[in-house]
Chain A
Amino acid sequence: MAILAIAGNTFRENIRDRILYNLILFAIIMIFSAVALGQLTLGHEDKIIVDLGLSSISIFGMLIAVFIGISLVYKELERRTVYSLLAKPIHRYEFILGKYLGLLCTLFVNVTIMTLGLVLTLASRGGGEFGSYLRLMPAVYLIFLSLALTTALALLFSTFSTPALSAVFTLFFWVAGHFNRDLLDFGRLTESASFRWLCNVLYYLLPNISNFNSIDGRNIIQSAAYHQSVDPAAVMWISVYALLYCAVLLLLSIAIFSRRDFK
């Protein structure tokens, strides 16, 4: 119950902080793409609108996850509101989980509104029945999973570091997570067994953000744009990966936060 109360509060705080203003920028991108693309490209207009829409959802979501996530705990410490909160019968794990769920809820609302905006833009061009827009869902779902992981990452750094450093760490891990597979290739290229072992360990240790970008070698946004079907089994395994990785990050956050001395 306490978790939900903290989550609700975090969500309200985010809305008060005008997080949803990014939707105005998203709307401008969508209107621009619907009106101006005909002048800039030859064919593929709907495909480009889907690409622009889904990429914007991903980029805006990532920026919110990083820049709000890094201050989730730090802000409470800075304002000293954490003292009055923890003085109440609230466990520290409830505080962390509540904060995480609150930001996730903000991201969910944001992603939902942007997806609706994208569907409306496509519908305004007279493209297909409503059912055909369901093809966007696997991509939107995987983008949301990657945002959930990024938020957990930002929250972890937020429990022990300053916002500036947390932003650097989170962005570093986010970028590294896209090049994770190269680590395996580096390992294979070397003749040193210990270096190969290190590369393998790092490959599993670092978050595999690239997992959320493609399925069976096909980019997930491209699959949505070209109406290609997505293997549900692959989506399930990626979901399990996200769940496990987020659980590890949240448990680490709880462990660090529980050990912090607020005296």
Chain B
Amino acid sequence: MNSNRLLVRNFAAWFLAGGCLLAALLIKPVQDRVEGRLQLFSVDPDMLYFSSPEGMKKLAMGYDSVLADIYWMRAIQYYGRRDEADKRPVRYRNLSALLQITVALDPDMLDAYRAGANFLAEPDPIGAGQPQEALKLLDNGINRMPHEWRLLFDKGFIYYWFVKDFEAAGQCWLSASRIPGAPAWMEGLAASALSKGGAMETAKTLWQKQYQESDRADIKENARNHLFSIEIAETLWALEYFVGKYRERAAAYPSELNDLVQAGFLRAMPVDPLGTPYQYDPKTGQVSLSPQSKVTYLGAPPGYRENFLENLKKLVESR
């Protein structure tokens, strides 16, 4: 009698444990099914529940700092997750709002102004393509931290590179150079921008300075990509120029780029900044970056090509 009762009790315990395990295992597929149905009626996934920085600050109830961190991490994920950004109708519609909320909650978060402005100013698809929003964000930071020369440097950078307002860029750098602690080269940069407005040498110096000065990996990588892109653009234009010269002389395109070396136009076979040879089409004479290249090519600023080719032509003719 007792052993029967024990058997039943054991069976019940195993039955309960099995049932519990089964139910637990079923939760995932059921949740996925519910999720699938919900998605059919879901609202815009890029919706921002709170878009007012002032409203958010009021609702923070003293937890401003931790909320600022949450918004900052959200802004980074929003910007950094390219796969999700590609699915949105407008890639970075809410980036500016996320950053403005972050700095409203924590007005001393220097990285949010600096990196945030970078995210906003870079053209699509690298960034939001909103240099004016980037300038607005930096202005907030400059009002809060007038002693911080880096913010003025970044503002000048955005004017110079993205807005192409060289006068405004020079004025920003001049103001930055007057702040105690600003590096000595800032004054030279300002003078260069104010006098030569638009010179590529200034731009290269800028990207180099940003590469050297920044302690942030993402900003360094972006600066390096820009420097590499300028170098690639210049090489491609020079190669196309020499292919044209070769054709004038031999009445045909070179069969490979090495022919340019043989003909004395080049000293060595050109490779991209990370060592991959360029791609050449002997039928059209077109030179391009190899698909195997590891460089993120961002293109060159408009108008620079003509300027570069003119200088190259003068250099070749003078020899």
Q: Which residues of A are interface residues toward B (Cβ below 8 A)? A: 40-44, 47-48, 51-52, 54-55, 58-59, 175, 178-179, 182, 209-210, 212-214, 219, 221-222, 225-226
B66 pairs with A40, CB closer than 8 A:
no
A42 pairs with B58, CB closer than 8 A:
no
Give B118 Cβ to nearest chain A Cβ, in Å. Answer: 11
Q: Which of B49-72 contact A (CB under 8 A)?
A: 58, 61-66, 68-69, 72
A226 pairs with B66, CB closer than 8 A:
no
- Contacting chain A: which of B108-116, B162-170, B188-196? B108-116
A219 pairs with B62, CB closer than 8 A:
yes
Q: Which residues of B are interface residues toward A (Cβ below 8 A)? A: 58, 61-66, 68-69, 72-73, 76-77, 106, 108-109, 111, 115, 216, 218
A221 pairs with B111, CB closer than 8 A:
no
Bound complex: CA A44 to CA B64 (Å):
15
Given contacts A40-B76, A42-B218, A175-B61, contact A48 B111 (CB under 8 A): no
B64 pairs with A178, CB closer than 8 A:
no
B109 pairs with A209, CB closer than 8 A:
no
Chain A residues with CB below 8 A from B58, complex form: 179, 182
A51 in complex: contacting residue of B69, B111, B216, CB < 8 Å:
B69
Given contacts A222-B106, A222-B108, A226-B108, contact A44 B72 (CB under 8 A): yes
Bound complex: CA A212 to CA B65 (Å):
14
A52 in complex: contacting residue of B61, B66, B115, CB < 8 Å:
B66
B69 pairs with A209, CB closer than 8 A:
no
Give A184 Cβ to nearest chain B Cβ, in Å. Answer: 14
Given contacts A40-B77, A44-B72, contact A209 B62 (CB under 8 A): yes
Main secondary structure on A side of the interface with B: helix
Give A93 Cβ to nearest chain B Cβ, in Å. Answer: 32
Give B130 Cβ to nearest chain A Cβ, in Å. Answer: 19
Contact sample, A vs B, 24 pairs, CB 8 Å cutoff: A41-B73, A42-B111, A44-B69, A44-B111, A48-B69, A51-B65, A54-B65, A55-B63, A55-B65, A59-B63, A175-B61, A179-B58, A209-B62, A210-B61, A212-B62, A213-B61, A213-B62, A219-B62, A221-B62, A221-B64, A222-B64, A222-B65, A225-B65, A226-B108
Chain A residues with CB below 8 A from B73, complex form: 40-41
Chain B residues with CB below 8 A from A212, complex form: 62
Beyond A55-B65, A213-B64, 18 extra complex contacts between A and B, CB < 8 Å: A41-B69, A41-B72, A42-B218, A44-B111, A51-B66, A52-B69, A212-B62, A213-B61, A213-B62, A214-B62, A219-B62, A219-B106, A221-B62, A221-B65, A221-B66, A222-B65, A222-B108, A226-B108
Residue on B nearest A179 in the bound complex, by CB: B58
Chain B residues with CB below 8 A from A48, complex form: 69
Chain B residues with CB below 8 A from A52, complex form: 66, 69
Chain A residues with CB below 8 A from B77, complex form: 40
Chain B residues with CB below 8 A from A214, complex form: 62
A178 pairs with B109, CB closer than 8 A:
no
Bound complex: CA A59 to CA B66 (Å):
12
A219 pairs with B65, CB closer than 8 A:
yes
